[in-house]
Amino acid sequence: MDIKNRANCSEKAEIFSMLLEGASPCLTRDNAGCSPLKEFVADFTLENRFLNSF
């Protein structure tokens, strides 16, 4: 994992919590407009699992 990704992790966490607060319907509905959000959430979750595995 490169250092840049690790440095951005807390920033992503802040963005993620803002998204959960403001865009939670996008996480449960199959909206085309929410597709990038779903991809971001999936990436975020996978990255967190990776970081937590150490």
Q: Where are the alpha helices (DSSP H) in 1-54?
A: 3-7, 9-28, 35-52
Tracing tokens 């959960």 back to the chain, one arrives at 20
Please provide the average confidence, as pLDDT, over all residues in the chain. 62
Please compute, for residue 32, the number of CA atoms within 13 A of its CA located in the half-sphere on the CB side: 0
Does 34 or 16 have the greater pLDDT score?
Answer: 16
pLDDT of amino acid 14: 73
Q: Is residue 51 predicted with pLDDT exceeding 70?
A: no
Domain count, the chain: 1
Q: pLDDT band for 1, please (50, 70, 90 cuts).
A: very low
What residues contact 1, with CB distance under 8 A and at least 6 apart? 50, 51
pLDDT of amino acid 41: 74
Q: Is residue 40 predicted with pLDDT exceeding 60?
A: yes
Q: Give the domain range for residue 33.
A: 3-52
Rounded to two decimals, what is the model's pTM?
Answer: 0.27
